Structures are given as C-alpha cells and as structure tokens.
Amino acid sequence: MSRVVHIARTWIGTPYLHQASVKGAGTDCLGLLRGIWRELYGAEPEAVPPYTLDWSEPQGDERLWRAALRHLTPAHSPEPGQVLLLRMRDGAVAKHLGVSATPTTFIHAYSGHGVVESALSTPWARRIVARFTFPEV
C-alpha cells in the first residue's frame, strides 16, 4: 500500500471543519492534504491564507490548481496515493481535493461527512480535472 494512502486512511473519521487541519479534531479537503504533507515532510511548503467557502469563484481563479503545480508533480495515469483535484460544478473553479486509495475509491474530507473513503463513482470521476503525486520522500 502507498504510504500516502496509509496516512490518508488514518484521517478517516475526522470531522469536517472548514479551514482546519487537525487529525481527529477537524479538517477540510485542503487540510487533509496539508496533514498528509506534514506527516511526509514536516513543515508545510507555504502558509495557507484564510479562505471562504466560495473563494476564488467570483474571479474564476484556479488558485488551488496553481498551488498544486507549485508543490506537486502532475500525473497522467491513475495510481493509488495521487492527489485528485476536482471541479464540483461545470464552469466552476476546481477546489475539491482527495487522495486516490484504490482504482475505485478515494479519500477526502467532505462537508457533512468528514473524512471518508468514497467510491470513485462516475459522478465523482467525471469531476477530476487533474492528478498529482507528492514529491519523492
């Protein structure tokens, strides 16, 4: 099993809490990725400014995608442990993140559900706009 998947699974059950990143206490989807990063490398690569639920949408700004490109490596073929960037609505900015766990599941922090391993069903899979890998440890 991928080390990233192992770490992500230790977050399952953490409640959803916007802007948080504390295993067992609360996290959002970005916080989950930040927590995985800390377990892999220590300090986070950059400070995350406060953000609202609709951040970057009014401007159509792909801020999360640009941040991923600064710190992660684009991937093309699906593999466990990849970071998935998802667009929740057609025409909206991509601002949901998860980690592929198996060919048919992914782990993510989802409002109203907390951190869960969900089926990568067709409705979820069609939302994926990019895949990334963490830098080699």
pLDDT in tens, 7-36: 999 999 999 999 999 999 999 999 999 999
Q: What integer best gives the mean pLDDT of the chain?
A: 93
Q: How confident is the model at residue 77 (pLDDT cuts 50, 70, 90)?
A: very high
Q: How far from the centroid of its chain's Cα atoms is residue 91's Cα?
A: 20
| Residue ranges of domains in the chain | 3-133
Query: How far apart, in Å, do the first and last CA atoms of the chain sit?
Result: 15
Residue 53 in this model has a pLDDT that exceeds 80: no
CATH classification for the domain delimited by 3-133, as one of 3.30.70.3270, 3.40.1190.10, 3.90.1720.10, 3.40.50.300: 3.90.1720.10
Q: By three-state DSSP, how is residue 100 classified?
A: strand
pLDDT at 2 over 80: yes
Residue 57 reports pLDDT greater than 70: no
SS3 99: strand
Mean pLDDT of the region 105-110: 97
Cβ neighbours of residue 120 closer than 8 Å, sequence gap 6 or more: 100, 103, 104, 105, 106
Task: State residue 56's pLDDT score.
Answer: 65
**66: Cβ contacts below 8 Å, ≥ 6 apart:** none
Q: Which pair of tokens denotes residue 129?
A: 């706009």
Q: Within a 10 A sphere around the Cβ of 102, how many other Cβ atoms?
A: 14
pLDDT tens per residue across span 80-105: 999 999 999 888 899 999 999 999 99
The amino acid that residue 69 corresponds to is L
Distance (Å, rounded) from C-alpha 29 to C-alpha 21?
Answer: 9
Average the pLDDT over each of 89-93, 117-121, 132-136 and give the range with the smallest value: 89-93
What angle do helix axes 3-10 and 29-41 make, rounded to 10 degrees?
120
Q: Kindly state the average pLDDT of the residues 49-74.
A: 83
Q: Which of 56, 128, 76 is nearest to 99 (CA)?
A: 128
